[in-house]
Amino acid sequence: MKRIFLSLTVGIAFLAACTPVKFDRPQPEGVEKLMAFPDDFEGFYVDEGGDTLQVTSGGFEYGFGSSDSTCMIRSLSSGNMVLKKFKGNYVLSLNEDELWDVLLIRPATDGFDLCTIDVSNKDSIKVEQLREITKVKTVRNSDDEVEYYLISPDKSAFRKILKAGLFVEGEHFQRVR
């Protein structure tokens, strides 16, 4: 299937049949941002598809596995990436065209799981779960197809989104060194 990347501590593969959920600001609101990635996150990682991720204290470099080129470089000092610690996980917000892609980083013994909220075009249940927690705006393209869902949860609503299990694992990054 066609892969597009969204990024994390990087980038993440989504199925073309899925619709992303975007945020109007870094998450969660009211939580202090970290100025660096924690020491235990620094290192070189690879996901199941062979994509690579080099995490340093100040940011990351992400690349597709079969290519020697770097696809994305992000820095915490750029203002386009915000990292926060929340409920035992890390929340990475990446600015894309005035909106924010929000990724949940769940530490694992051999690396971390990268989780996101992504809605299958046929999954109205997940959209309804979001609507029960926070206001959801449906953004459509010129062909009247859903392009993405926009949400702006406060800290309490973000906590409810986590508790409802709406962030799901998209990729597992295993530490290589």
For position 11, what pLDDT does the model report? 40
Nearest to 111 by CA among 43, 11, 62, 39: 43
Domain-wise residue ranges, the chain:
4-175
**Token pair 């690396």 is at which residue?**
111
Task: Please give the backbone phi and psi of residue 106, each rounded to the nearest 5 degrees, phi first.
Answer: -105, 115
d(CA 108, CA 111): 5
How does DSSP classify residue 78? G
Cα–Cα distances in angstroms (integers) from residue 106 to residues 37, 90, 154, in the given order: 14, 7, 21
- 37: pLDDT confidence band, cut at 50, 70 and 90? very high
Is a pLDDT exceeding 60 seen at residue 139? yes
User: With pLDDT > 90 as the criterion, what percentage of the chain qualifies?
Assistant: 64
**Weakest-pLDDT range from 31-40, 64-73, 80-89, 97-106:** 64-73
User: With pLDDT > 70 as the criterion, what percentage of the chain qualifies?
Assistant: 85
pLDDT average, residue stretch 106-126: 86
d(CA 106, CA 76): 19
Give per-residue pLDDT as tens, 78-112.
989 999 999 999 999 999 889 999 999 999 999 99
